[in-house]
Amino acid sequence: MKRLFGFAVMLSCAAALSFGSASAAFAVTESAEAQIQEIADTDTTNTENIGAETAAAEEAEENREAEAAAAEEAAAAAEAAKSEAEAAAEETVQNNKEAGLPVMMGDTADEAEEALAREKEELRQEVVDYALSFVGGRYVWGGEDPHSGADCSGFVRYVLSNTAGVSMSRSSYEQAREGATVSPEEMQPGDLLFYGNGRRVNHVAMYIGDGQIVHASTAKTGIKISRWNYRTPVRIASFIG
């Protein structure tokens, strides 16, 4: 009886050991499967990220190509517009030549205005240069030709008439009523300055730039250069343009 009981106990222990080993083996299997699944999930995420980055790179490349194409198209359009403008300018020049009109280069209002301003500036300089060629000449009351002698109004009248084609009165008093009034800040070479006693004008001179005038001064000093404000001018006027 005691032997039977001991054998039974031994069988029970063996069965318990066998069940424990099986449970442990099952737990190890579950852990391995979980690790495998985690690795698989990580690979899937990495693959998705790589795919998104690739798509973004492709989109950026497409955008760059589109921008480059747009830039080339804009450059081509600008070049075409320039060619058309040049052709139009050449046609205008040719038409003006055929019609006997002055040739005005430039196809915009701004360019035409700049060209006109340059022409006026050159004319003013021509007027001044001609007036200065008489410095040292004689003052002759009532004279109208500085080659032989002229008074103040005859001098400026002769110079402006023979360079700029300006028609003006004979006396400084009458000349002071003509032309366009300008301020000392606005006066330019070729403009006239009128001087007087009070408001009565009795002398006229021509501004030559750099704060100076040229004028037929007196019988003693003749045609000479002075400072523009050696006397206070009654009026300053432009007769050119």
- Rg (Cα) of the chain, in Å, rounded? 51
CB distance 143 to 219 below 8 Å: no
Q: Which of 139, 133, 132, 140 is nearest to 221 (CA)?
A: 139
What are the Cα distances from residue 237, in Å, to 2, 51, 125, 171, 207? Answer: 150, 81, 17, 15, 10
Which position among 139, 176, 208, 215 bears the catalytic label? 215
User: Measured between alpha carbons, how far is 103 from 84 in angstroms, rounded to an integer?
Assistant: 19
DSSP string, 225-241: EEETTSS--SEEEE---
Is there a catalytic annotation at residue 147? no
Which position among 124, 157, 203, 235 bears the catalytic label? 203
User: Measured between alpha carbons, how far is 161 from 99 in angstroms, rounded to an integer?
Assistant: 28
Is there a catalytic annotation at residue 13? no
Which position among 127, 152, 192, 193 bears the catalytic label? 152
Q: Three-state DSSP class for 219?
A: coil
Q: Three-state DSSP class for 191?
A: coil
Q: For residue 77, give the H/E element and its range.
A: helix 2-99
In the chain, the amino acid numbered 145 is D
Say which DSSP state 141 is in: T
Q: Which of 180, 224, 223, 232 is nearest to 201 (CA)?
A: 232
Main-chain phi, psi angles of 184, to 5 degrees: -55, -30
* Catalytic positions: 152, 203, 215
